[in-house]
Homo-oligomer: A and B are copies of this chain.
């Protein structure tokens, strides 16, 4: 059976117009890396770029590099590289700080626009930081609160005149379900509610059209499918129809209209630049800048189609090749509703993922029994996918998950 899938993988790879991007990344020898949804591979160009920042821009150019090497403008130039990937326009995205900090900025800005409404509607089982930040913000503001949106809730019933803003992930980090952005925005707007989308598991793998679908705010992570490097700075997008009205409390000097005038009053820069706060972390931001350069050659539609094709292929292969084992798919079966990772529940999932890691296949384990596999369409091949399934079969057949060294409970790294 494996042979059929390997053959099909060969044909799919031969027809893959994105295959040429693989060689732009450093792939550790003998590894199949299915964790690009956690930390993307390093584009080879990033190493040279960061070296240049160290040796030329910092150590030689020193302070003159703020203008001479474009450091000052990086938050916006990097934003312009991300824009086409998420369906945004030029000068609409500011890059810097973490996803958590950007969530805070956007939520606070949304609350300010919605005076009189004091509820943040937030998914209780969203990636924790989203819910934590919503709570942190509500706790500091008199009379504000977070209303939980739980799985199975009827969204329409949760949207009332008290709700200022709804915060949702476009692709759920656990279930991998894609939300219907347009319909949710419409329902929210009909009720006077603004929507903040978290694109952490979206950008670089799944289609999103921020402007066409009339989103209000969005934030996203750049170290997953955008391969910016560990902890690479996040981005914030604000719909242009809101940009000039917006006030956000992290009003650091780098978001000022004229930072070097050193005036005592904060006057925000035009547009998205007002979402920049303090001095950007240039080494990390430069690595991201470089990682994004290759995206100008990426066909968005081909990329999103490859993501769906890979996850579909993986599911079919696992359910065929490993049919003898009680693996339960815990993500949407319909590819159009599924992001770029796939999870299977398996009672011995922890040991199985440890055994897979020892065989060179990196995935993720989420307690109590979820095996999670991420498929970065930019650098993975269908052969990688088929071979990963082959390893899973060997692990299951050999009951490798039951070996003593794999029994300690904890995080699979």
- A residues neighboring B (CB under 8 Å): 26, 28, 33, 35, 38-39, 41-42, 46-47, 50-51, 53-55, 57-60, 62-68, 71, 97-101, 104, 108, 111-112, 124-125, 127-129, 131-133, 135-137, 139-143, 148, 223, 229-234, 247-254, 256, 259-260, 262-266, 277-285, 287, 362, 364, 366, 411, 413
Contacts and interface: CB of A to CB of B under 8 A. Distances in A.
A362 B60 CA distance: 12
B284 A98 contact: no
A80 B278 CA distance: 23
B98 A413 contact: no
Given A62-B35, A249-B139, A280 B231 contact: yes
Contact of A68 (B55, B139, B413): B413
A57 B50 CA distance: 15
A393 to B, nearest CB: 24
A129 B254 CA distance: 8
Given A58-B230, A262-B128, A283 B41 contact: no
B141 A252 contact: no
A64 B28 contact: no
Given A230-B282, A231-B285, 11 more contacts: A63-B413, A64-B413, A98-B280, A100-B277, A104-B250, A124-B264, A128-B262, A128-B266, A133-B250, A136-B266, A281-B283
Contact of A140 (B66, B129, B141): B141
A303 B101 CA distance: 36
B281 A137 contact: no
